Chains A and B, each alone.
Chain A
Amino acid sequence: MTCENCGKREAKVHYTAWENNQPKELHVCQECAVEKGIVVTASDPNKFSIQEPVIALIGDTAIGARVGKIQCSSCGLLYSTFRETGRLGCATCYESFVEPLQPLLRRIHGNLSHVGRSPVSQHGADQRRDQLRTLQAEMESAIHRENFERAAELRDRIHRLRDELTTGQDAPGQDAPEGAGEGS
């Protein structure tokens, strides 16, 4: 198949664009995809992502009509509606639609497990270790850009986290609120 944009190169990117509220299948080459703002990763031509909306990634694949009828147990959103709008209805949608969402998320992000910050309420022992690494990296970055106030604040949080890890406290809610007028 040749590219529908330039008509010269081989079409390697296949996506559904959203034009005038109608889905439209497009097949373009990598160069034109870049030009049109659809980003293609060179390492894996099958993996791509578009800025928004994400409808492109939702419609195709072999998931079929069955999943369209899946309904969120909390907000009642139909998966078929999500296909149209590209927007989920609530946090529980991530649970209710887990089957079709997994491949979608993998195609968008290439990865399925979160790395990085997390809310204080989630900081269990394992999480605290991850959080410690995140905070240390953030502190080094703060020092690097000479924001010593922020670095000191992060240092205090690191100390508190370390203390909690060594004393074995990991119940949610036991995190000392950082920076709230305590510590040095």
Chain B
Amino acid sequence: MMTLDALVKTPSTWLDGTGPHAGIVLSSRLRLARNLARIPFPARARKDQLTGVIQSVIGASRGADSLSGAGFFGMNDLNELDRTFLVERHLISRDLSQGSRARGVLVAPGESLSIMVNEEDHLRLQAVASGFDLAEVWGRVSDLDDRLDKELDYAYRTDYGYLTACPTNVGTGMRASVLIHLPALVLTKQLKKVLQGVAAVGLAVRGFYGEGTDVMGNFFQVSNQQTLGRAELEILENLERITNQLIEFEGKAREAMLRTARLQVEDKVWRAYGTLRYSRSIASQEVISLSSAVRFGLAMGIEGLTDLMTLNEIMVYSQPAHIQELAGRPLEPSERNIFRADMIRRRLANGR
């Protein structure tokens, strides 16, 4: 059985830096929204109904091999820091971490598969994989969906498909996304043009850290918008095709940068690495932008930096709740900065 302590100590498997195009695509995610028939959606369900949903989901998941050894974390059993930790971990949404109703998350070992229970929908089946591998996450989630379907009676209509609390999710209930790193398109100011093209085919692009012009770390999340009237595989193929194009555009921009400004690029990368490697106090936002530069350097084949897995782990473990969980106690922001710099120094020293 998984414990929160085990989660803190063991990095999520999707951070291992493997998978297709892992240098550009950090992760692929997919979630399916499902509700149980005859029970109001969580926001309007009674307390006994909500606990009933949790019991049904835990019961049904016992039949799923992919969830063997999974642990359930009830939100009302966790303190605020623990809940924020799960948000930073991308296991739960900010919505799930707030409020007081009976709700939680079931997490498989390795964290590549999980189910949020009683968020805005009764179930949110979610899978994540390192790199660009939508087929893999789809295979895992659809398989789990098949198993649960045998035990649970889903709210469904022939015309509208799977019924969800928010009409933007009705139909397939599916949201697939890739987290993509586009520093060269940002630096060469081609991003806006590229993203307009992406929006034109019905996909949403959002800055992963921050919004609009303040996108930190050059990370973007690309996801499908439409859930009604298009089959899951069609949606996935569309996202896959566009992501491939983004990878290609980013690749070309990177080549061009190296041709014209190799020294400046290397200088920027090594300065970023130097700060991460030797600083004595560092804020989490700074880590995001510095590790973006180092990630860029790694993908460009600059030798002597660190490896992708160490870099991914540094990014995740630098977040405020992670730092405090590692420290085992709440810390003031200034204390956190010192603790963070220390953690990063040690990881980079061991890395390479």
Q: Do A and B bind each other?
A: yes
Is A62 located at the chain interface by the 8 A CB criterion? no
Cα A15 to Cα B113 with chains together (Å): 36
Cα A127 to Cα B158 with chains together (Å): 9
A114-B228, A145-B136 known; A119-B149 Cβ under 8 A: yes
Can you report 21 residue pairs joining A to B where beta carbons are below 8 Å apart?
A: A49-B226, A51-B168, A51-B204, A54-B166, A87-B166, A90-B41, A91-B35, A94-B163, A105-B167, A109-B227, A111-B229, A113-B228, A115-B230, A115-B231, A115-B234, A119-B153, A127-B158, A134-B231, A138-B142, A150-B139, A150-B143
Q: What's the minimum C-beta distance from B201 to chain A, rounded to whole angstroms?
A: 8
Q: Mark A9-51, 1 if CB is under 8 A from B, else 0.
A: 0000000000000000000001100111101111100000101
Q: Which residues of B contact A34 (CB under 8 A)?
A: 192, 195-196, 199, 205
Is A41 within 8 A of B43, CB to CB? no
Q: Which residues of A contact B192 (CB under 8 A)?
A: 31, 34-35
Cα A150 to Cα B146 with chains together (Å): 12
Is A70 located at the chain interface by the 8 A CB criterion? no
- Most B Cβ at <10 Å: residue of A43, A119, A141, A142: A119
Q: For chain B, which range describes its interface: under 10, 10 to 19, 20 to 34, or 35 or more residues?
A: 35 or more
Is B206 within 8 A of A51, CB to CB? yes
Q: Which residues of B contact A122 (CB under 8 A)?
A: 156, 158
Q: What's the minimum C-beta distance from B113 to chain A, rounded to whole angstroms?
A: 14
Is A113 within 8 A of B41, CB to CB? no
Selected contact of B212 from candidates A35, A39, A101, CB within 8 Å: A35
Is A168 located at the chain interface by the 8 A CB criterion? no
A39-B225, A77-B44 known; A114-B171 Cβ under 8 A: yes
Cα A180 to Cα B192 with chains together (Å): 50
Q: What's the minimum C-beta distance from B152 to chain A, rounded to whole angstroms?
A: 9
Per DSSP, are chain A's interface residues mostly helix, strand or loop, or mixed?
Answer: loop
Is B270 located at the chain interface by the 8 A CB criterion? no
Is B145 located at the chain interface by the 8 A CB criterion? yes
Is A49 within 8 A of B168, CB to CB? yes
- Most B Cβ at <10 Å: residue of A86, A87, A101: A87
Is A116 within 8 A of B168, CB to CB? no
- Most B Cβ at <10 Å: residue of A36, A86, A105, A127: A105
Is A36 within 8 A of B212, CB to CB? yes
Cα A121 to Cα B162 with chains together (Å): 13
Is A117 within 8 A of B232, CB to CB? yes
Cα A91 to Cα B157 with chains together (Å): 9
A87-B166, A150-B139 known; A109-B146 Cβ under 8 A: no
Is B229 within 8 A of A37, CB to CB? no
Is B209 located at the chain interface by the 8 A CB criterion? no
Is B165 located at the chain interface by the 8 A CB criterion? yes
Q: Which residues of B contact A52 (CB under 8 A)?
A: 166, 168
A105-B160, A120-B149 known; A114-B40 Cβ under 8 A: no
Is B120 located at the chain interface by the 8 A CB criterion? yes
- Please provide the 8 A-B residue pairs with the shortest distance between their CB atoms, ordered closest to farther: A111-B229, A114-B161, A42-B200, A109-B228, A116-B231, A91-B155, A90-B40, A89-B44
Q: Mark B215-230, 1 if CB is under 8 A from A, else 0.
A: 0000000000111111
Q: What's the minimum C-beta distance from B126 to chain A, rounded to whole angstroms?
A: 16
Is A87 within 8 A of B159, CB to CB? no
Is B211 located at the chain interface by the 8 A CB criterion? yes
Is A125 located at the chain interface by the 8 A CB criterion? no
Cα A116 to Cα B229 with chains together (Å): 8
Q: What's the minimum C-beta distance from A17 to chain B, rounded to whole angstroms?
A: 13
Is B123 located at the chain interface by the 8 A CB criterion? no
A108-B167, A116-B161 known; A75-B146 Cβ under 8 A: no
Cα A34 to Cα B139 with chains together (Å): 31
Q: What's the minimum C-beta distance from A57 to chain B, rounded to whole angstroms?
A: 8
Within 8 A of A (CB), among B127-176: 135-136, 138-139, 142-143, 145-146, 149-150, 153-168, 170-172, 174
Is B37 located at the chain interface by the 8 A CB criterion? yes
Is A39 within 8 A of B202, CB to CB? yes
Is A37 within 8 A of B205, CB to CB? yes
Is B57 located at the chain interface by the 8 A CB criterion? no
- Most B Cβ at <10 Å: residue of A39, A89, A121, A180: A39
Is A137 within 8 A of B212, CB to CB? no
Is A117 within 8 A of B40, CB to CB? no
Is A39 within 8 A of B203, CB to CB? yes
Within 8 A of B (CB), among A95-147: 101, 104-105, 108-122, 127, 134, 137-138, 141-142, 144-145, 147
Residue of B nearest to A40 (CB): B199
A134-B233, A179-B146 known; A41-B202 Cβ under 8 A: yes
Is A111 within 8 A of B37, CB to CB? no
Is A88 located at the chain interface by the 8 A CB criterion? yes
Q: What's the minimum C-beta distance from B171 to chain A, rounded to whole angstroms?
A: 5
Q: Mark A48-92, 1 if CB is under 8 A from B, else 0.
A: 010111100000000000000000001101000000011111110
Cα A112 to Cα B308 with chains together (Å): 44
Is B160 within 8 A of A94, CB to CB? yes
